Structure 1
Amino acid sequence: MTNKLGELTVEGVNHSYSSGKLKLPVLFDISLHIKAGEFVALCGSSGSGKTSLLNLLAGLTKPEQGKIWVSGQEISSLNENKLCVFRRNYLGFVFQSFNLLPNLTALENVELPLVFAGEKKRIRRQRAEQMLELVGLADRIHHKPNELSGGQQQRVSIARALVNKPSIVLADEPTGNLDSVTELEILQLMRSLNREHGTTFVIVTHDDQVAQQSDRIIFLKDGRIIDERQSARAGSEMKVMSHEAD
């Protein structure tokens, strides 16, 4: 598995949700490959299937047809217990609503994945403090969520997602509840962490401004991939690199 760390591959995935006796198809013949260390945006309007695809990549739902490999592991073949262990070891999650526990401090929220992993208190405290410092919150570690701004709460959420050193971070509308200035700060933070640590990021968004901060944009419509392209940002960086090489 190690030589595939950070990679995601989807082959011929079809998926439906059940509503009583009815089946509602949501994804059709999805195939894609995301390289280790890429920063990829899944884009589309509401109902396009982008969040359904993210849930499949996370192993939260299993595809009706097709296969999904995450860091070299074919996850649809794993039972729920093995999936839980796999997610804990290889995946980090960032949510639009932050999903922080209100009665815990920033430090305690970031420690949670390490608690579930059975890490010793001294080690998890040290790693949580390091992550909060990395996201610029060293002076807020003892604050509870209601004492933090939206941007600070999302920084805590990112620190929590990365504290277990996952090879892949999956983010569902991570800037959806933030103002435009804070949105850019959070995107720049994630890009910085992506570059410095080589962590793969897959972000679901309907916002073109967010998508343009990625390396590659995959567009979905009505449950199908209709296009994929390099972002404007990635194109500019390639031109800079080309000029430097000259």
Structure 2
Amino acid sequence: MRPPLFDARCRACWVMAGLLALVVASFWSLDLQWAAFLSSDALRAMGRFVAEFFPPDWSPAFRAKLLPAAWETLAMSLLGTLLAAAAGLALALPASRPGGVGTLARTLLNALRAVPELVWAALLLILAGLGPMAGTLALAVHTAGVLGRLFAQSLETVNGHGAVQTLRLQGCSPTQVFAYATLPTLLPQLISYTLYRWENNIRAAAVLGVVGAGGLGQLLAFHMGLFHMGKTASILIAMLVLVALVDGLSAWARRRLAS
């Protein structure tokens, strides 16, 4: 028999009521100036600002700067994701196990992903200096925390898989169990997670340059600070095209893995 609405046994009902209360409290506590935001003066000012972006600057001299910056952003996202996948898998192995080592690994993963990429980039600029190295490392550190947690959850799920249990009962070593049962079972899922994070990292890499970490973001911060709106529009279009290409490639690769 289904419990009545908001019965003590209907946990989902109470969770939804709590979320609704938080949404109402958020609107009540924030000073949201909707009237000023949608006023005619604000809309006219926004219209004038957007009009300054046209026409975009596609001069040969600027394209010579734009294309290398776009490639730098792509390379940062790809290399950062690959480093993160390797580090995340290395941390996921102990994090998927109970005990002190597992707790320590999970705490480290929480700490890595709790700090945003922009903060990591600002910190690593002190160590690596201005340029793409700081941005690449910032993406790798933050994404390692995210992928490590996702990988650890996948490992926890597959530990009870039939093939894993069979090899263990036959006396295989943990390395053999991982190589011949755990990894083949998990590999499509791990690749899918990694590709999804690459999609996120291409967006993050385009922004990291704002703090001096190279790529399109650094070019954007420079020209927007000088109010070169035509050049700024070209950079934004390049970001959109780059993100769309990576999203499409990643989605195609995940479909191929699922088929």
TM-score (norm 1): 0.24
**Larger proportion of strand:** 1
TM-score (norm 2): 0.23
Structure of higher CA gyration radius: 2
